[in-house]
């Protein structure tokens, strides 16, 4: 079996779920946040450092790896796990979101997507079958189907066409998927329209995928609309299959997603903002590049147990960042990923104790400090 999801317990007050996602490369305690390794690497962080944080799974991107270094060299090396020296789980995104973000550099038809490489301007044509074969060659534990992700805002008619295309493409990906040791997840679309979300989910559930992702959110819509979409889907998704919310990584949204039954999340947010000098703390975001921290010898977060907070001051990290030292970005990135890993562990413990409802009521006002930031 490619993967197995074991539901351990549920919060009696909310939709929060505690589970274990078992893959050929180990188990992931859920709910969990996955760092993004777009091109086979979590920027500035090594695999051993991710293992220190007990990271059970990372996300690679089919679009980027297809363009560079190319799937053939990865396949010859024995697959993505061996190529990047990663022993735990990997999901590969189909690249649909990246392709549709290219704007005028791509053209969509019912058979697939024609796009121009952002690297060298070369022309490419990807179909659902081609995307599936590429992911078969990469050999990740979980492969995502090619979906049509409409922008926000989009009209009802535009989102309806995207839902219908996503369903057709999902069926073609299902038929083209050949690896029995690799799971395949469908991507539910529908924008902020509840009836289209339900239609997309029901059409995809009829194909019996190994798991279901919620896509087309965290693309600029207000967070309240994202939560409404999750509220719509939570009651109908299969209980004994994993649920994945794509592209979400702010602490407040993680908590709200867990409350609505999401098992796994991914986002570039924690690593991207870290490289720009912004870190997550118990008091909200902190922009360490600001001059006010030039002589601040306290850690990034007094309440954080990560090696960065135990060993380095705000003044030193600010100095590294402003001097252009890569070690500054490494330290802020490590801290942000550790912060989220610790948050998810705290959430799992609350569900296991049976008091996630109380935990949510206490934690939600604190994490609302992040609401004004990007998702």
93: annotated active-site residue = yes
Residue 21 has pLDDT above 90, yes or no: yes
Write out pLDDT tens, residues 261-309: 999 999 999 999 999 999 999 999 999 999 999 999 999 999 999 999 9
In this prediction, what percent of the chain has a pLDDT beyond 90?
94
* pLDDT at residue 375 greater than cutoff 50: no
Higher pLDDT, 96 or 50: 50
Q: In sequence order, what are the residues at sequence separation of 6 or more whose Cβ sits closer than 8 angstroms to the Cβ of residue 172?
A: 127, 128, 129, 132
Active site residue 266: yes
Q: Are 75 and 139 in contact (CB under 8 A)?
A: yes
Query: Rounded mean pLDDT of the chain?
Result: 96
pLDDT band at 372 (very low <50, low <70, confident <90, very high): low
In the numeric block, the tokens 């019996």 are attached to 208
Pairing of strands 183-188, 142-144: parallel
3-state SS, 298-326, equals CCCCCCCCCHHHHHCCHHHHHHHHHCCCH
Q: Do 201 and 233 meet the contact criterion of CB atoms below 8 Å apart?
A: yes
pLDDT, tens digit (0-9, with 9 covering 90-100), for 152-196: 999 999 999 999 999 999 999 999 999 999 999 999 999 999 999
Tokens 């274990």 belong to which residue? 20
pLDDT tens, position by position, 183-230: 999 999 999 999 999 999 999 999 999 999 999 999 999 999 999 999
The SS3 call for residue 340 is helix
Give residue 101's pLDDT.
80
DSSP code for 145: P
- Inter-residue contact 219 to 96 (CB < 8 Å): no
Asked if 44 and 268 count as a contact pair (C-beta separation under 8 A), the reply is no
* CA dist., res. 173 & res. 209, Å (int): 11
Domains of the chain: residue spans and CATH: 8-267 (3.20.20.105), 274-368 (no CATH)
| pLDDT digit string, tens, across residues 27-80 | 999 999 999 999 999 999 999 999 999 999 999 999 999 999 999 999 999 999
Predicted confidence band of residue 1 (pLDDT cuts 50, 70, 90): low
Catalytic entry in 141, 252, 263, 266: 266
The answer on pLDDT for 374 being more than 80 is no
Q: Is the pLDDT of residue 100 over 80?
A: no
Per-residue pLDDT, 298 = 98
Q: What is the CA radius of gyration of the chain?
A: 20
Q: Which of 53-67, 104-118, 233-247, 331-345 has the lowest mean pLDDT?
A: 104-118
Tell me which of 93, 203, 263, 301 is the catalytic residue: 93
* pLDDT for residue 137: 98
Q: What is the pLDDT of residues 343-365, one digit of tens each?
A: 999 999 999 999 999 999 999 99
With a CB cutoff of 8 Å and minimum separation 6, the contacts of 70 are none
């Amino acid at each position: 079996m490619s993967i197995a999801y074991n539901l351990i317990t549920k919060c009696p007050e909310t939709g929060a779920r505690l589970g274990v996602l078992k893959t050929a490369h180990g188990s992931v305690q859920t709910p969990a946040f996955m760092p993004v390794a777009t091109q086979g690497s979590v920027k500035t962080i090594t695999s051993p450092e991710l293992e220190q944080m007990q990271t059970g799974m990372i996300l690679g991107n089919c679009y980027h790896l297809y363009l560079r270094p190319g799937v053939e060299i990865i396949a010859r090396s024995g697959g993505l796990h061996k190529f990047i020296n990663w022993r735990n789980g990997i999901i590969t995104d189909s690249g649909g979101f990246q392709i549709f973000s290219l704007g005028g550099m791509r053209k969509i038809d019912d058979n697939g997507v024609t796009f121009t490489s952002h690297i060298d301007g070369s022309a490419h044509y990807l179909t659902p079958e081609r995307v599936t074969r590429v992911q078969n060659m990469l050999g990740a534990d979980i492969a995502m189907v090619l979906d049509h992700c409409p922008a926000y805002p989009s009209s009802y008619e535009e989102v309806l066409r995207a839902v219908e295309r996503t369903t057709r493409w999902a069926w073609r990906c299902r038929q083209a998927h050949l690896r029995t040791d690799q799971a395949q997840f469908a991507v539910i679309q529908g924008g902020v329209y509840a009836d289209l979300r339900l239609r997309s989910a029901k059409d995809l559930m009829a194909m019996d995928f190994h798991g279901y992702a919620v896509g087309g959110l965290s693309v600029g819509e207000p967070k309240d609309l994202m939560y409404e979409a999750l509220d719509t889907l939570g009651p109908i998704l299969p209980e004994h299959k994993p649920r994945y919310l794509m592209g979400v990584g702010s602490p407040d949204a993680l908590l709200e997603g867990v409350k609505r039954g999401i098992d796994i999340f991914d986002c570039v947010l924690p690593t991207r903002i870290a490289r720009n000098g912004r870190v997550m703390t118990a008091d909200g975001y902190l922009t360490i590049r600001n001059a006010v921290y030039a002589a601040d010898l306290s850690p990034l977060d007094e309440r954080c147990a990560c090696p960065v907070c135990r060993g380095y001051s705000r003044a030193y990290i600010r100095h590294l960042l402003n001097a252009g030292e890569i070690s500054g970005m490494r330290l802020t990135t490590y801290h942000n990923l550790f912060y989220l890993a610790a948050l998810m562990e705290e959430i799992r413990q609350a569900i296991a104790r049976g008091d996630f409802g109380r935990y949510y009521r206490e934690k939600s006002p604190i994490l609302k400090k992040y609401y004004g930031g990007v998702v």
